[in-house]
Amino acid sequence: MPMKILNSAEMKSIDQKTIQQVGIPGVVLMENAGLQMVKAIEDMQQPTSPMKVAIFCGKGNNGGDGYVVARHLYNRGHKPLIILLARRKEITGDAKINLNIALNMGIELLEAPTHQLWQKQKLPLQSFDLIVDALLGTGLSKPVTGFYKKTIEEINRSGVVVASVDIPSGLSADSSEIIGTAIKAHLTVTFACPKYAHILPPAEGYVGRLVVADISIPKRVIEEEGVRTNLIDEELIRESFPRRKSNTHKGHYGHLLIIAGSEGKTGAACLVGEGALRVGTGLVTVATPESCNHILEVKLTEVMTAPLPETTERTISEKAIEPTHHLLEGKFALAIGPGLSLNSQTQYYIQQTVSSSTLPTIIDADGLNAFAECPDKLTGKGKSLVITPHPGEMARLVKMKPEEIKKDRVGICRCFSQNHHLWVVLKGYRTVISTPEGEVYINPTGNPGMASGGTGDVLTGMIAGLVAQRLPLTYALILGVYLHGLSGDLAAEQVGENYLAAADILDFLPDALLRFEKE
């Protein structure tokens, strides 16, 4: 089972089922959470002497986790101070049990239920080695105000290392957006599964290092919740990683047709072709305007080329529709769009080719622009259709602004996939993949250095090449996106993010593939 990404309601339901149906008491879950938090803290800090730790606790169960953290730190020789931003009499349930234990052990408590009382303490936060944020949990849905807001701001100004319990206080677990003032943590330890704010930008920028800790919630309970958002991880990649058999030849690994390029944009066609080759596609044919074909003949030595009739602007013309029907014969997949231009004839050609093709089809770039004014024609009913937009292209398809897309990438992708019966690969930091059934996969690999021309063309080629090899379509997308980002990460380690180019992703792709092939 891939790692699930939960919203607050799903996490609450899983907690309740674990307590009520499985019979694991809430106080046991709280104990496990606090212990895992302490392990992560010591792993990060590597203390060689006792640490002075300020533990900010709210009045809910997140604060209860904080009391457990205080106890285990105390038992390990550290010097915790519990700072309770509430009155002690307000603490109830499992949190009260753990607060009483901490006090019985002699752990110091500073009770500061108001900003005035907190200010009177005149406690310099800079005197602490670590601050533990156990103020607010995953149930927050509106901006923090008042005393808590001022305290969070003070913690952020302190410059002290901050470790957050479950989620940085002030973030909403259900949103990628920064809904208000929030803790900027160096470490966040969440429990059972990550939440949306942990994974999606810009909120994930407040999380720091993320640790997903096991607190004994049974996997069965998580599975039965029916969560449909997943985080791609190495375990998922390994499950179906393709390996070649000795008695095979190039015909066993698919034949991909790529339709790409125009005058001034032949580089896009080359990068798509090279991306497909690098993931092991058996045969690749690139079709391009006839006057551009000689460039591909020189640039691409391992692929076949096919010159198509062109317009006066040296783009593919509508006269290419019939020759393309013949080119599609014997192929296993089609990739169309990169560098094709916005020429009206070319756009008509794209629409006709996509609608008539029965092959698994991957549409990118100008291929998507051809449907911007008629998105209803973009349907995967009866066939396998994949679109790979960036936020701007997605915005044109759904008649929204790119900023609106970024605020709800998961929801918009899921809705579009289900309504149009196709797969969406919404590119960007934390690329989102959605399926016609409404499953969503979020990719953790990749870096800002990949925000340069041509990297998307490489991804299109990789995805299309894996689809042509007849991998299960959803897995082909998952594998392509993950390896693309991993290759970019490996490249960035060697050449730096600021200097990374699309060709670097191609150069480091074999290293990314070998990481899994050797296992």
Instruction: Please report the domains of the chain, with CATH numbers, ordered by start residue.
Output: 3-227 (3.40.50.10260), 255-517 (3.40.1190.20)
The whole-angstrom separation of Cα 182 and Cα 127 is 22
Check residue 447 and give its pLDDT. 97
- Supply the pLDDT for residue 37: 98
Instruction: Give 1's pLDDT tier (boundaries 50, 70, 90).
Output: confident
What's the mean per-residue pLDDT of the chain?
96
pLDDT at 120 > cutoff 90: no
Q: Give yes or no for residue 398 having a pLDDT over 80.
A: yes
The predicted pLDDT at position 245 comes to 84
- Separation CA 109–CA 55 (nearest Å): 10
Instruction: Quickly list DSSP for 295-316.
Output: HHHHH-SSSEEEEE-B-TTSSB
151, pLDDT greater than 70? yes
pLDDT band at 293 (very low <50, low <70, confident <90, very high): very high
Question: pLDDT digits over 460-508, tens only?
Answer: 999 999 999 999 999 999 999 999 999 999 999 999 999 999 999 999 9
> How far apart, in Å, do the first and last CA atoms of the chain sit?
19
pLDDT of residue 309: 98
Distance CA 243, CA 255 (A): 18
Chain position carrying tokens 């309970």: 221
For the stretch 31-45, pLDDT in tens is 999 999 999 999 999
DSSP string, 59-114: SSHHHHHHHHHHHHHHHTT-EEEEEESS-GGG--HHHHHHHHHHHHTT-EEEE--S
The residues, ordered by sequence, that sit 6+ positions from 7 with a Cβ below 8 Å of its Cβ are 173, 174, 195, 196
pLDDT tens digits for range 20-32: 999 999 999 999 9
Of the candidates 105, 94, 106, 25, the one whose C-alpha atom is nearest the C-alpha of residue 66 is 94
Q: Give the pLDDT of residue 343.
A: 97
> If you average pLDDT over residues 287-295, what whole number do you get?
97
Arithmetic mean of pLDDT, 63-90: 98
Q: Are strands 333-336 and 304-308 parallel, antiparallel or unpaired?
A: unpaired
Residue 519: is its pLDDT beyond 70? no
Q: What pLDDT is stored for residue 387 in this prediction?
A: 99
Q: Is 440's pLDDT higher than 70?
A: yes
pLDDT at 112: 93
116: β partners: none
- Which residue has tokens 């002030």? 170
pTM of the model: 0.95
Distance CA 452, CA 457 (A): 11
- Top pLDDT among 118 and 198 is at 198
Q: What share of the chain is helix, strand, coil (3-state, %, to 5)?
A: 50, 15, 35
